[in-house]
């Protein structure tokens, strides 16, 4: 898909798929961090992680994994770097990113993993943000996230190919249903917005941090700081 196609698709449907460069290398580091955070052997497949985590431990393990992934912000920036050409093309050169990446472990037959349909705009994110949804396991219709595209309105299931990530807009309603497969679905999500776009309830300084900045803006901010 060329650059214009994915941007058109995002603007028309509210979501699209992109293939970042060097993404397989990043995925393997992310998978290792998740296993490390969950206290699992390196050889465990993420699809099988539910055999290594009891349902009552899932929330504690989930928090540990999130903390492991977010503990080294320089490493996280390196992990996210292949997304930069897409995000800056979409929202401009001055970008903030969500400070902490979120994790979803959607375990087979686990009712507590169900996320009801919602729009992130209604939970405090602004419609100027874009979410990057990063699958770490193969997605099946029965265990993936669904959303309701602008154009068609009916439910669509996210089915990215290997090494693809999903970009979607915050206004779209999304959620998931009971995972009726035997495989866990593990995915990450992180939000980006322009440094100069309006906020909703998630404030710029608490929820985000500067990710990319043009030299022009950097100089401008320094001059602005020294104006008085
Ligand atoms: Fe959401």
Q: Which domains does the chain have, with CATH numbers?
A: 3-222 (2.60.120.620)
Using only the alpha carbons of the chain, give its radius of gyration. 18
- 16, 107 in Cβ contact below 8 A? no
Cα–Cα distance, 85 to 33 (Å, whole number): 24
CA of 43 to the centre of ligand 1 (A): 31
CA of 210 to the centre of ligand 1 (A): 22
CA of 73 to the centre of ligand 1 (A): 23
Res. 111: pLDDT tops 80: yes
CA of 3 to the centre of ligand 1 (A): 26
pLDDT score for 202: 81
User: Model confidence over 193-203: pLDDT tens digits?
Assistant: 999 998 888 88
The confidence band for 67, taking pLDDT boundaries of 50, 70 and 90, is very high
For range 122-129, the mean pLDDT: 86
- 188, 128 in Cβ contact below 8 A? no
**What are the percentages of helix, strand and coil residues in the chain, rounded to 5?**
40, 20, 40
Q: Quickly count: other Cβ atoms within 10 Å of residue 129's Cβ.
A: 25
Residue with tokens 């979120």: 102
Res. 49: pLDDT tops 70: yes
pLDDT score for 112: 86
| pTM over cut 0.85 | yes
Q: Sheet containing 174-175: give its strands across.
A: 156-157, 146-147, 174-175
CA of 128 to the centre of ligand 1 (A): 15
130-135 and 165-169 beta bridge pairing: antiparallel
Res. 227: pLDDT tops 90: no
Q: Quickly count: other Cβ atoms within 10 Å of residue 50's Cβ.
A: 21
Cα–Cα distance, 30 to 142 (Å, whole number): 24
CA of 223 to the centre of ligand 1 (A): 38
Residue with tokens 């970042």: 20
């Amino acid at each position: 898909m060329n650059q214009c196609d994915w941007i058109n698709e995002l603007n028309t449907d509210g979501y699209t798929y992109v293939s970042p460069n060097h993404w397989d290398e990043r995925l393997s580091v992310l998978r290792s961090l998740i296993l490390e955070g969950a206290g699992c052997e390196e050889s465990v497949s993420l699809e099988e992680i539910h055999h290594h985590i009891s349902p009552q431990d899932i929330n504690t393990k989930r928090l540990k994994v999130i903390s492991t992934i977010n503990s080294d912000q320089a490493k996280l920036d390196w992990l996210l770097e292949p997304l930069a050409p897409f995000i800056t093309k979409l929202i401009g050169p001055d970008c903030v990113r969500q400070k902490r990446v979120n994790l979803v472990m959607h375990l087979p037959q686990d009712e507590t993993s169900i996320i009801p349909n919602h729009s992130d705009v209604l939970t405090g994110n602004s419609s100027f943000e874009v979410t990057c949804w990063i699958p770490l396991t193969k997605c099946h219709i029965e265990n993936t996230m669904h959303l309701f595209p602008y154009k068609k309105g009916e439910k669509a299931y996210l089915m990215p190919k290997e090494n693809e990530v999903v970009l979607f807009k915050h206004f779209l309603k999304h959620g998931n249903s009971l995972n009726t497969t035997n495989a866990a679905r593990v995915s990450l999500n992180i939000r980006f917005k322009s440094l100069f776009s309006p906020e909703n309830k998630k404030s710029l300084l608490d929820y985000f941090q500067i990710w990319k900045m043009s030299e022009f803006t950097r100089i401008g901010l320094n001059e602005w700081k020294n104006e008085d």
